[in-house]
Amino acid sequence: MEQALVPPCTLHEPPADIVLTRLVAPDPNAGADLRDAALDLVAELFPVGRPIAADAWLDTWSPEDPHFPRDERPSRPAWHLRERRPPAFVSVSSRAGLTPVVRTAEDLTLDALRDWLADVVAEPAGADGAFTLLAGFACHCLRARLDDTWTGRSTFPLLDGPRMLELPLEQRSDGPWVAGPIDDLRVPAPMEYQLDFGAGGLRLAIHSRWSWWSEPGRPEHAALGGALGRLVARGWTPSEVPDAFRPAVAGPP
């Protein structure tokens, strides 16, 4: 019997975007809630994509005006955490703006991210009567898990228009992974995500940049759908969801 052909993985332009929201009020006691929301997000997405680098940034708020952050910024508003020895082919940079406080860790485990975010949200406001809150958390540089049929291989084919690229594969103790972005080839990471906080609450945007993570029928898509379902079960509300992910966020009938 002939084996069915597997459609190649392709770059999405524009990416498939998924948006979830969650209500959190901007008050002085919200710091831990925002930190935990970022950690919950990373934990649920960990089986799908693991950060190689992460960004966080802060806003200053005033108890007298809970609707908008103040114009003043903390003295260190931008933070960046990266692996000490990331894959050589991956382009690691910060998108937090300004000049970030840069720290490194051997591996961006949940414990490493938890300790780092604890330091971020502890940054003082620098203004009398004000308080700081996490304004954003983002991962644009990550490695994404492939199914086990890629175990033992050294490259991964990615179709970008007329270009068929052979990208390096990482064979790690927990399976095969493919990483990005790779600026030399103009290739983004397989997926990216960003958490933004304002007076309206939390907004999570997940951008699926490679087709296997956004098209039904692939284990990678099923893994991302499972993560979305778990986030919805934790209290996130679907706001913008492509048809391919609607069953994952629909919840029980």
Residue 4 lies in a domain: no
**Overall domain count for the chain:** 1
Pairing of strands 78-83, 101-105: parallel
User: What digits encode the pLDDT tens for the residues 142-195?
Assistant: 999 999 999 999 999 999 989 999 999 999 999 999 999 999 999 999 999 999
pLDDT of residue 253: 55
Residue 198 lies in a domain: yes
Residue 240 lies in a domain: yes
Largest CA distance in the chain: 74
243-248 contacts, C-beta under 8 A, 24 or more apart: 244/16, 244/214, 244/215, 244/216, 245/18, 245/214
**Share above pLDDT 70 across residues of the chain, in percent, rounded to a whole number:** 95
pLDDT of residue 67: 66
Residue 3 lies in a domain: no
Are 204 and 139 within 8 A, CB to CB? no
Query: Does residue 168 have a cis bond before it (omega within 30 degrees)?
Result: no
**182 DSSP 8-state letter:** B
User: What is the per-residue burial (b if ≥16 Cβ within 10 Å, else e) of 19-31?
Assistant: ebbbebebeeebb
Tokens coding 94: 């910060």
Residue 4 has pLDDT above 60, yes or no: no
Q: Which residues contact 64 (CB under 8 A, 6 or more apart)?
A: 129
pLDDT of residue 69: 75
Q: Which residue has the higher pLDDT, 243 or 75?
A: 243
Residue 85 lies in a domain: yes
User: What digits encode the pLDDT tens for the residues 113-147?
Assistant: 999 999 999 988 877 778 888 999 999 999 999 99
Which range marks the domain in which residue 47 is found?
A: 9-249
Q: Which residues contact 250 (CB under 8 A, 6 or more apart)?
A: none
User: What digits encode the pLDDT tens for the residues 43-59?
Assistant: 999 999 999 999 999 98
Any idea of the CA torsion for 34, 40, 43, 45, to the nearest 10 degrees?
Answer: -90
Q: What confidence tier does 2 reach under pLDDT thresholds 50, 70, 90?
A: very low
Residue 2 lies in a domain: no
pTM: 0.91
Integer Cα distance of 92 and 89 in angstroms: 9
Are 49 and 191 within 8 A, CB to CB? yes
Residue 1 lies in a domain: no
